[in-house]
Amino acid sequence: MKMQSNFLCALTLFLTASFGMLHAQDNNVNTEFGVKGGFNMSNLYGSGDDVNDNNVLYGFNAGVYATLPISDFVAIQPEILFTTKGAKLEYDNAFASGDAKFKLNYIEVPLLVRVNITKNFNVHAGGYASYLVSSKVTGSGDVSFEQEIDRDDLNKFDAGIAAGVGVDFNPISIGLRYNYGLTNVGKERTDAITGTTYTFPDAKNSNLTLYLSYKLN
């Protein structure tokens, strides 16, 4: 998505400019344990293609997090989340109109480095690993259907990079994060007739999240 690419560029520039300010901060990050959840905008992108704004699928995420300081302004932040991903395809032709949704549900474990620029503002970046727990395709419009997808036909593990920003109001925080998948959703297969190999679906996850967290301690 263009919005996601612009967000990552702006975040990189902000991180570079902010490191010169860190020496002036004092104990901006503390140990936290809490719950969080949010709104997802997900998509799939193919090999060699840029993520675009088409075929966005809306979903959610929910889970728990911990913030573990390693200095006055830097912390490690592990999380465990249930999150939805996938993509939506809309069609409108002479025969039918509607949409089809490719839905993927994961248990996701991000591991992030969090830098508190001030007590109330942080930037974070790192990686994530996910395990696929369910998948299905649904359709609505002139043709309605719902079909479970055998997880053995897809990669059960996904991994990628993540980056975001957060604003703390104690005990509530809000933030924006982008996950860029590095693993194909589909598995490599061999055609029984031609013997050629192919990957279906040959695409990776892309996910932009607006989240709300609540500190419990």
Tens place of pLDDT for every residue, the chain, 217 residues?
555 555 555 555 555 544 444 444 456 888 999 999 999 999 999 865 555 566 899 999 999 999 999 999 999 999 999 999 999 887 777 676 778 899 999 999 999 999 999 989 999 999 999 999 999 999 887 777 788 988 888 999 999 999 999 999 989 999 999 999 999 998 876 666 665 665 667 899 999 999 999 999 9
Give CA–CA dist 85/131, Å, rounded: 12
Per DSSP, the three-state class of 7 is helix
**CA atoms within a 13 Å half-sphere pointing along the CA-CB vector of 140:** 3
pLDDT computed for residue 19 by the predictor: 47
pLDDT computed for residue 89 by the predictor: 83
204 to 28, 155, 181, 197: CA distances (angstroms): 36, 11, 6, 18
Q: What is the pTM of this model?
A: 0.81
138 secondary structure, DSSP code: E
CA 130 to chain centroid: 10
